[in-house]
């Protein structure tokens, strides 16, 4: 059944697709009946490379966007980011050494009020870039690698939030908190239920230095709450306390909304994130502190008429528009035909029953007796049980990302490394000598993977380590050890390639050959008795350009034990192909082919 468009009660918030790099995208919006045309302007910010050696402190300031509301004008919007060292007078002195590459690119876009009363914010979309995501994973693999199997038991409702990994989050939008509004970019996440943003009282987390912070003292509508809060995710956790204030989403103002001021954001996840916080669109049953989700209060306060919201995620890499979140209904232009609806089987998440999985049209029989699935806008990939995901990745020729990077280095530079070792070149200088690492006389500093295969576009990617440099350093050790065994050169290189096969990917991703997309099978999921197909170009994510391009499988293994599992998490890979309706009133989820 199609949800009717309630013209005066539909509220739309367009989502931004962002790149897997250290970047920050800002969007702006204005009130009804004012059309503001904003031209985009890349801004090279002051702290592109921040080296923090805290005997003093670093002060990061942001200046909120300024709007000039003139029809047909083209005002520029600036985000200023500045770093100041205050020596011993710094308020938050720390003794810690950190090196970060912080590169921000600001794009602005048009905003407009539709004639039917709906509100939309036009967005830009940046191409995916492997450097930031790979770097984050390489660094995070040592500290934050989540387990591959979970036993949530009967009380595991809220615990599925702990499986979430926002490192590759691709879509976000803008909200504001307080009066006057303080702007934040957030992931609109149907897989969690709380709203949180960084707090001005977050003193000791690096992530808080790099993102806007909520300042309660500047809001006339702030109300003190004070309850403590903590949310654990698969790759990090946040802690803080609850506060109450007005929250603006699009042109809707939700009064007295309970949200979390995050005072601790440990780990790398939220340091490299392109968003400031999370706005959960799940059920109150999984809300930490039993706080009413923003979505609930929209309904309670009569801001929208229909208890429905819907997602359209634009997967067309050539389009600038990233997607659209509609509160109060659906936009018919964003889907084809009718939605197939399935009932929510367990409140908390938008969870429903799923049938068999097909590979190349052939049933696997894995979910014949039924599996559970969750529609999750806060997850980029499509996660499922290891058994079937392994079958899918085998069918599409996928191998571990780290394994493929290692083999690339060995294939292109293995003989050179061997020759240099035979010529008695100092082993620790070999990788810098062939250009895979830089060398400062004491240690290797990693370079971007594109420097391995694309010399013309070589760019330094300092700070969190790089797979190409790491693979080279491992290959040097492996080859050196085999030379001591008097093995033939051919056997040595074969052996090193075999070792590459055994390298696990930090976050479980698998890579495929970009040139083989046309030969890969269609993968299909059965929902509500209907088969939903995913073609290779829809389940493979391409990052990078030219010879530096990588193709990542959209399928990732995740094992949840009964009674909650086996469980599938249908993230952006699936929701990008299929327009998704979340019907709170009828407790159902609907899917239709996106237009």
Q: Which of 157, 276, 376, 466 is catalytic?
A: 376
Residue among 58, 129, 72, 68 nearest 100 (CA): 58
Q: Which residues contact 488 (CB under 8 A, 6 or more apart)?
A: none
Q: Token pair 């969750």 is at which residue?
A: 374
How many other β-carbons are positioned within 10 Å of the β-carbon of residue 321?
A: 18
**Pairing mode of beta strands 588-593, 578-583:** antiparallel
Helix (H, G, I), strand (E, B) or coil at 405: helix
Q: Are 496 and 478 in contact (CB under 8 A)?
A: yes
Q: Are 208 and 198 in contact (CB under 8 A)?
A: yes
Question: Does the annotation mark 376 as catalytic?
Answer: yes
Helix residue spans in 317-465 (DSSP H): 386-395, 401-422, 427-433, 450-453
CA distance 167 to 508: 13
CA distance 350 to 311: 13
Q: Token pair 């990008």 is at which residue?
A: 576
Question: Does the annotation mark 356 as catalytic?
Answer: no
Helix axes 467-483, 130-140, angle to 10 degrees: 60
Q: Which of 25, 189, 331, 559 is catalytic?
A: 189
CA distance 85 to 88: 9
End-to-end CA distance of the chain: 18
Tokens (6 digits) for 383:
């996660």
Residue among 168, 182, 170, 258 nearest 213 (CA): 182
CA distance 285 to 283: 5
CA distance 144 to 511: 21
CA distance 276 to 288: 19
Q: Are 119 and 448 in contact (CB under 8 A)?
A: no
Q: Which residues are catalytic?
A: 189, 376
């Amino acid at each position: 059944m199609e949800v009717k468009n309630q013209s005066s009660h539909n509220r739309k918030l367009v989502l931004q697709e962002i790149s897997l790099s250290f970047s920050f995208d800002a969007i702006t919006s204005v009130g009804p009946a004012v059309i503001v045309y904003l031209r985009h302007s890349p801004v090279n910010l002051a702290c592109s490379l921040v080296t923090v050696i805290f005997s003093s402190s670093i002060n990061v300031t942001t200046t909120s966007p300024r709007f000039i509301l003139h029809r047909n004008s083209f005002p520029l919007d600036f985000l200023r980011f500045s770093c100041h060292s205050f020596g011993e007078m710094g308020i938050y002195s720390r003794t810690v050494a950190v090196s970060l590459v912080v590169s921000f690119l600001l794009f602005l876009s048009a905003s407009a009020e539709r004639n039917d009363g709906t509100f939309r914010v036009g967005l830009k979309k940046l191409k995916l870039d492997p450097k930031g995501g790979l770097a984050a994973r390489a660094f995070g693999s040592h500290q934050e690698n989540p387990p591959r199997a979970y036993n949530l038991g009967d009380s595991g409702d809220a615990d599925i939030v702990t499986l979430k990994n926002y490192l590759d989050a691709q879509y976000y939008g803008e909200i504001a908190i307080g009066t006057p509004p303080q702007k934040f970019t957030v992931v609109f996440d149907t897989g969690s239920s709380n709203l949180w943003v960084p707090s001005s009282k977050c003193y000791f987390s690096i992530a808080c230095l790099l993102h806007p912070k909520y300042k309660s003292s500047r809001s006339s509508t702030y109300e003190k709450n004070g309850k403590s809060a903590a949310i654990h995710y698969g790759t990090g956790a946040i802690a803080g306390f609850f506060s109450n204030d007005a929250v603006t989403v699009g042109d809707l103002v939700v009064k007295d909304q309970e949200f979390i001021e995050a005072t601790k954001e440990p780990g790398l996840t939220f340091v490299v994130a392109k968003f400031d916080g999370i706005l959960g669109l799940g059920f109150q049953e999984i809300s930490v502190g039993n706080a009413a989700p923003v979505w609930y209060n929209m309904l309670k306060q009569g801001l929208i008429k229909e208890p429905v919201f819907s997602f359209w995620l634009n997967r067309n890499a050539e389009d600038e528009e990233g997607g659209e979140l509609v509160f109060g209904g659906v936009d018919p232009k964003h889907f084809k035909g009718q939605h197939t609806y399935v009932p929510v089987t367990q409140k908390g998440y938008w969870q429903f029953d799923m049938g068999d999985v097909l590979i190349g049209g052939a049933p696997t029989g894995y979910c014949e007796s039924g599996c559970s699935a969750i529609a999750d806008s806060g997850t980029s990939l499509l996660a499922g049980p290891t058994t079937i995901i392994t079958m899918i990745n085998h069918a599409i020729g996928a191998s571990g990302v780290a394994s493929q990077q290692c083999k690339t280095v060995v294939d292109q530079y293995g003989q050179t490394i061997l020759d240099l070792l035979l010529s008695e070149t100092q082993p620790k200088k070999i990788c810098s000598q062939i250009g895979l690492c830089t060398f400062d006389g004491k240690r290797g500093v990693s370079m971007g993977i594109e420097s391995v295969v694309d010399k013309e576009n070589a760019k330094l990617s300092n700070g969190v380590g790089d797979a190409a440099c790491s693979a080279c350093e491992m290959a040097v050790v492996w080859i050196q050890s085999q030379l001591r065994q008097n093995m033939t050169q051919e056997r040595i290189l074969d052996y090193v390639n075999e070792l590459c096969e055994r390298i696990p990917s930090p976050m479980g991703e698998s890579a495929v050959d970009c040139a083989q997309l046309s030969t890969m099978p269609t993968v299909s999921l059965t929902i509500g008795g209907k088969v939903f197909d995913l073609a290779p170009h829809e389940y493979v994510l391409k990052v990078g350009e030219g010879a530096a391009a990588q193709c990542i499988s959209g399928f990732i293994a995740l094992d949840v034990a009964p009674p909650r599992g086996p469980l599938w998490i249908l993230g952006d890979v699936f929701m990008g192909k299929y327009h998704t309706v979340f019907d709170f009133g009828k407790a159902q989820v609907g899917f239709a082919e996106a237009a």
